[in-house]
Amino acid sequence: MKTPFFSSLYILFLLLVNCQTNPRPKTIIVDTPKESSRQISTVTTKDFAKMKIEGMTCAIGCAASIEKKLNRTTGIVSATVDFESKTAWVAYDAEHQTHEGLIAIVESVGKTYSVSSIENTVNPSEK
């Protein structure tokens, strides 16, 4: 009688722990000129990218962490990450951010995340 209860409790614990992100701070050193370290006040060349992200296991921990990191990065206007489709849509300033930079940001959030494809797209609101 007690075995199924404890087994269910153990499985629930494993599921909850699996969605947690690693609390250790991650440091990425990127060589950038001093003027680009300030927040960009005006976006001169706005581009849009669609990225397929592999390695996400949950919407609350994984997708939200990636979206938060992208939105806090200089040169990114906005970012939305959808867990179900494993896709991120990013509006960014092309003069201050590149596809390689976007990939590096996603992969810096956790070791399990990787970008399997990235492509330029049109403004999603114009579709």
Q: What are the pLDDT digits (tens) for 75-88?
A: 899 999 999 999 99
Q: What is the pLDDT of residue 19?
A: 59
Which domains, from first to last, does the chain contain? 43-127 (3.30.70.100)
Q: What is the pLDDT of residue 54?
A: 94
Residue 110's closest CA among 17, 14, 21, 27? 21
Higher pLDDT pick, 71 / 3: 71
Q: What is the pLDDT of residue 70?
A: 94
Higher pLDDT pick, 23 / 96: 96
Higher pLDDT pick, 121 / 123: 121
Work out the average pLDDT over 92-109: 92
Q: Among the listed ranges 6-10, 72-76, 77-81, 96-100, which one has the minimum average pLDDT value? A: 6-10
Q: What is the pLDDT of residue 104?
A: 94
| pLDDT tens-digit map of 8-61 | 777 777 666 665 555 555 555 656 555 544 454 566 678 899 999 999 998 888
Contact 55, 110 (CB under 8 A): yes
Check the CA dihedral 81-87-91-92 and report its sign.
Answer: positive
* Structure tokens, 24: 């250790």
